[in-house]
Amino acid sequence: MQALKFDDIALPPEAEALRGEVRAFIERAMPQDTLPDSDFNQGHDPAFSKALAEQGWIGMTWPTRYGGGGRTFFERYVVTEELLAAGAPVSAHWIADRQSGPLLLRYGTEAQRERFVPAIARGECFFSIGMSEPDSGSDLASVRTRAERRGEGYVVNGTKVWTTDAQRNHFIIALVRTSQTSENRHAGLSQLIIDLKGPGVTVRPIRNLAGDEDFNEVVFENCFVGADMLVGSEGNGWEQVTSELGYERSGPERFLSAFRVLVEFVRAVGPDPDDHVAAVVGRLVSHLMTLRAMSISVAGMLQQGQNPALEAALVKALGNDFEKSVPEILRVAAPHLEEGSRFRATLAQTLLHAPSFTLRGGTREILRGVIARGLGLR
């Protein structure tokens, strides 16, 4: 059994020093015409992302020579949690900042780094994740999108699906099969950067149950991709996609998605609610404080250059179940749902998005499998 390691780490003073600045920025830059939503997938606002980049808050941990901020994971942590807690529209740059940039910095060619990373940090270049396919959800290794070598590049055929913001973003990093399936299912996979607006790519929005068009189907038909858009080495795709899980799974976006519902609940119940209502708030706050402490521990491990994939899976499993429970708990705890109140509107919005919380980025069941492996059970 691998020991579960959550070091007792608190945010250092230089990270805390940023908090006031971030709050002041949010106060200034937050759009006033939409309901704040703490879900990182909600609110695609290039102007907001651009303004955030001007503060130096995209690509914060990246080297300065690629336009990054050269700052710590703790500083990035403060910025991201403040944005989510306020319900700021962060969806446009979120994926590029969280994982595409780090992926390119780690595995990309020098030319790719120079072309994409500074543009991401300027808030001008947005990425989507190209992993899931119609027949490959949790079973990611079964992807069938093919990239066949031709001349100076690849010809890509296949379909990606549930691709958030593909209709709005610039690029997708697609996990594709560059050689036929062998005994080792994880072999023969590669990652390609593909221009979402380029020839051979068709993006069709898919309406979700909330009536929104956040995710898409992305179809590649004889789409030519230059060899210079291969990320890392051919056949190394599986290692590459799994290497970033520590970043992808442990952040505050994994437990704060429903946070605005709690804020509006507190507004709705007023300053002196009954004991039961106070206890409901206290319980959710205790979960949030604990998840936050766990998530900061993982940020500390990332800062030390460790690969906390197991701890990240734990934070995500616990965090997703928690954030999903928040609207359910507050719904029944609310004495009445006043027509037209902010609480009612936020609750409705979050309830409709909640099914995705335990699906995206690794389902609850996949995460439990990862944890069981860490425990030595499989």
Which residues bind to another protein, rule: CB under 8 A? 1, 4, 6, 8, 10, 16, 19, 81, 85-86, 259, 262-264, 266-267, 269, 271, 273, 275, 277-283, 285-294, 297, 311, 314, 317-318, 365, 367-369, 371-372, 374-378
The dihedral built from the CA positions of residue 72, 243, 301 and 126, taken in this order, carries a sign that is positive
Query: How many angstroms separate the CA atoms of 370 and 229, rounded?
Result: 31
Secondary structure class of 276 (helix, strand, coil): helix
Query: How many angstroms separate the CA atoms of 19 and 12, rounded?
Result: 12
Query: How many angstroms separate the CA atoms of 28 and 352, rounded?
Result: 29
Closer CB to another protein, residue 72 or residue 164? Answer: 72
Pairing of strands 215-226, 201-206: antiparallel
Closer CB to another protein, residue 202 or residue 286? Answer: 286
Closer CB to another protein, residue 133 or residue 323? Answer: 323
Q: Which amino acid appears at position 40 of this protein?
A: F
Q: How far is the CB of 318 from another protein (least distance, A)?
A: 4
Q: How far is the CB of 243 from another protein (least distance, A)?
A: 22
Q: How far is the CB of 139 from another protein (least distance, A)?
A: 15
Q: How far is the CB of 190 from another protein (least distance, A)?
A: 31
Closer CB to another protein, residue 196 or residue 367? Answer: 367
Q: How far is the CB of 279 from another protein (least distance, A)?
A: 4
Query: How many angstroms separate the CA atoms of 123 and 86, rounded?
Result: 20
DSSP H helical segments within the chain, as ranges?
Answer: 13-16, 19-29, 46-54, 73-86, 91-95, 101-107, 110-121, 237-243, 245-250, 259-269, 275-303, 309-333, 342-353, 364-374
Contact between 146 and 156 (Cβ < 8 Å): yes
146 closest CA partner among 232, 197, 220:
220
Closer CB to another protein, residue 6 or residue 224? Answer: 6
Closer CB to another protein, residue 239 or residue 365? Answer: 365
Query: How many angstroms separate the CA atoms of 348 and 207, rounded?
Result: 17
Query: How many angstroms separate the CA atoms of 368 and 375, rounded?
Result: 10
Closer CB to another protein, residue 1 or residue 332? Answer: 1
Q: How far is the CB of 13 from another protein (least distance, A)?
A: 11
Closer CB to another protein, residue 189 or residue 315? Answer: 315
Query: How many angstroms separate the CA atoms of 171 and 143, rounded?
Result: 19
Q: How far is the CB of 199 from another protein (least distance, A)?
A: 44
Q: How far is the CB of 272 from another protein (least distance, A)?
A: 8
Contact between 299 and 74 (Cβ < 8 Å): yes
Q: Which residue has the tokens 């708990």?
A: 329
